[in-house]
């Protein structure tokens, strides 16, 4: 009787296992397999979208695990309102390129990406015309292998913003600035530098602001740190987590790396030698936009805390 019970139980278990393994229909099995493939073959890349405050802000979306030219096309699709990537735009952000726009061609030659749009690109709301160019340029030059961007409209170079009647260089890079702020007392001796601040939806994200000031001869690295350490930011919805008592004691710029030596106020916890992630990101992203560097080392009173590879910032 015991042997019989064991055989019955074993048979029932085998039947249940077969029912579990065999899909109820071909479509369900195919759908599951397709989902697994999608997850395995996609990576995340940086994209600059409008946030709730109309800043062009840094976030990321999934793209194909493909070459840089195809990634550039996919990211640009993410910038188009209602485009092919609209279903994966992060909450709290929105696209900026007019919805009827088509990407006619994408070509990459020696670090310069040429992207050709349909004429609908010119139908952008005048309020967002300059921000749209900023979003395109900052998004595409965030990809490894793309240093500059040429924007065409049906084969012709876009050399000005038609609604603002503002001239554009034929070849663009991040020197065009983003979320621009002018604090000028004179049209002479103007310099610019870009600082990344923190904002928040459900999570923290980063907003670059290019500042134009009369400060020829000023040290840009010190300007960046001082801007982040100031207790008051020019807009209440942009934050900096850098303590206002932080002091940059000295620094060393060596080829593609920067070593920054602060006082102890750079540390979130002196006992554990920790630096807040938001502080690391705002400093590193700001330095990356202003200098051709790949690595930042943080020290406090000459004691090394950490070295950050800018390529690893997501």
Quick: pLDDT tens for 77-132: 999 999 999 999 999 999 999 999 999 999 999 999 999 999 999 999 999 999 99
**Binning pLDDT at 50, 70 and 90, where does residue 147 land?**
very high
- Residue 135: helix, strand or coil by DSSP? helix
The predicted pLDDT at position 235 comes to: 60
Phi, psi of 13, rounded to the nearest 5 degrees: -65, -40
- What six digits make up the tokens of 66? 């493909």
- Residues 56 and 237: their CA atoms lie apart, in Å, by 14
Mean pLDDT of 48-75: 96
The predicted pLDDT at position 1 comes to: 45
**Binning pLDDT at 50, 70 and 90, where does residue 50 land?**
very high
Q: Say whether pLDDT at 2 is over 50.
A: no
By mean pLDDT, which of 14-18, 75-79, 176-180 is the weakest?
14-18
- Give me the DSSP letters along 56-118: EEEEEEEEESS-HHHHHHHHHHHHBTT-TTGGGPPTT-B--B-TT--EEEEEEETTEEEEEE-
Q: Quote the pTM value.
A: 0.84
Mean pLDDT of 281-306: 95
- Find the DSSP H helices in 154-276: 220-229
The predicted pLDDT at position 233 comes to: 57
- Residues 136 and 173: their CA atoms lie apart, in Å, by 10
- Find the DSSP H helices in the chain: 2-21, 26-41, 68-79, 129-140, 220-229, 277-290
Mean pLDDT of the chain: 86
Mean pLDDT of 216-239: 81
In the chain, pLDDT over 90 holds for what percent of residues?
73
The predicted pLDDT at position 11 comes to: 52
In the chain, pLDDT over 70 holds for what percent of residues?
84
What is the four-CA torsion angle of 81, 82, 87, 88, rounded to 10 degrees?
-20
């Amino acid at each position: 009787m015991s042997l019989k019970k064991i055989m019955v139980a074993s048979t029932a278990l085998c039947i249940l296992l077969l029912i579990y393994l065999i899909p109820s229909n071909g479509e369900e099995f195919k759908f599951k397999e397709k989902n697994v493939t999608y997850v395995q073959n996609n990576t995340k890349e940086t994209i600059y979208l409008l946030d709730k405050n109309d800043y062009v802000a840094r976030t990321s979306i999934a793209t194909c695990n493909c070459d840089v030219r195809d990634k550039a096309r996919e990211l640009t699709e993410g910038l188009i309102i209602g485009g092919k990537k609209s279903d994966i735009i992060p909450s709290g952000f929105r696209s900026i390129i007019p919805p009827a726009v088509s990407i006619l061609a994408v070509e990459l030659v020696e670090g310069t990406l040429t992207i050709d749009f349909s004429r609908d690109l010119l139908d952008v709301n005048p309020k967002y015309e300059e921000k749209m160019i900023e979003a395109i340029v900052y998004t595409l030059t965030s990809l490894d292998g793309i240093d500059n961007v040429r924007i065409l409209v049906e084969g012709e170079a876009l050399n000005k913003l038609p609604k603002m009647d503002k001239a554009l260089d034929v070849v663009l890079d991040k020197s065009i600035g983003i979320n621009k702020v002018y604090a000028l007392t004179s049209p002479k001796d103007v310099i610019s530098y870009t600082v990344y601040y923190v904002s928040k939806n459900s999570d923290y994200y980063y907003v670059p602001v290019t500042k134009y000031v009369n400060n020829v001869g000023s040290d840009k690295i010190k300007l960046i740190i001082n801007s982040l350490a100031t207790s008051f930011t020019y807009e209440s919805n942009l934050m900096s987590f850098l303590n206002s008592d932080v002091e940059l004691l000295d620094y060393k710029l060596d080829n593609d790396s920067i070593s920054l030596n602060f006082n102890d106020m750079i540390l979130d916890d002196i006992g554990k030698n920790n630096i807040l992630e938001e502080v690391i990101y705002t400093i590193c992203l700001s330095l990356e936009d202003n200098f051709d560097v790949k690595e930042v080392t943080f020290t406090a009173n000459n004691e090394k805390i950490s070295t950050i590879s800018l390529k690893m910032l997501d």
